[in-house]
Structure 1
Amino acid sequence: MGPALMKPGLILVRHAPVADRYRGLCYGQSDIELGPIGARRSRELVESLAALPVDRVVHSGLWRTWFLAEQLGERLGLPALRFDALRERDFGRWELRPWDELHREHGDAMLKVVSEPGAYRPGGGETTFEMRDRVLEWFRKLPREGLTIAVTHGGPIAALSGTLRQLPVAVWLDLIPPCGECVQIELKRVV
């Protein structure tokens, strides 16, 4: 992503890869750390994002987003502001448990996060629409001038992107970028 490609608006950055010991786990809102690859990727992102005309740097408050946001803010002379609304979905009792184990216990019922987005609470946590609604509330209040870098998570990125594009929940999983990647949003639309 070069500076010539970016326009004023919103850049959503999915946090860099977490430590290897968390691979295969449902970590949701658990505050886990980056691994060496994630720390290196964060520093690379700081280099590329710092070349942009950034007005605001925000993050979810979880360490894996704070690490990049804080470094970028320091580089640009901007505060890295915390917004809990940007946190990943709350997976309740599922957090820090292996996805394979959860699938053995719950089977295809896990698909209710898509088929019943307003009712199903994985692990007793948030529904898909509760997560979407808190992210949209943050987005509605976001200043429409200047460039905001928001370091966040896959779920909020997919929910915001899918909602703004008026896509069904069933395709939101396809909108989750890889760790350490960016998605640009134009700020002309308020939902």
Structure 2
Amino acid sequence: MNTQSTPAVVSSSIDDIFQLTLADGLPADVGGKTIKYRTVRLRETSVADERIAARMAERVMTVGGVPKLLVSESDFRYAMTMRHCEYFECDGTKLPLAVLDLDTFGKLSPHDLQLLEERVVLVTLAAQLRYGVITQADFDQFAVGRIPAGTSSSPQPVGQAADVGSHAGLPESGPALLADFTGGGANAAASGHGA
């Protein structure tokens, strides 16, 4: 008896969220000839994948004369997208995740990278659907490009002072926002300076 859970049924126009065809493909030299792997098989990731991606994004930087190990947020996101790729395929030949590195993955076009990142979001949402975090209706709305009711886009179009009555339409300068957070008036003199 197979007790392993399977991804929830997706009722969107995407037949298989784990299969993606790229526009340009991942170029690779095979036998002195360049081929383009256009089909990608995606997979869900685990905590181990996050650790591997973090290690791939680590860089030693000198900060104040002291070497420090830092993790690049953009490289981490890029590495996590790569970790979602089980393999790339071209004419039955597979390029598995085990042989991929960031330099090889970096040969993707920006358009193909965006396609992959968008599909990774759907794969992640499918897992949330399976665990009951979101509903099938929410997933379907995301899958067709709409945001479900009750969620908001970020950043907000009107800023921090939205929904504060007559003040909602006023421009919000940095000092005014800082005054809001510190509890002082926006036009009051700072304590210790003047009257």
Structure with bigger helix share is 1
* Structure with greater proportional strand content: 2
Give the TM-score, by structure 2 length.
Answer: 0.24
Rg: which structure is higher? 2
Greater RCO, CA 8 A, separation 6+: 1
Give the TM-score taking structure 1 as reference length.
0.24
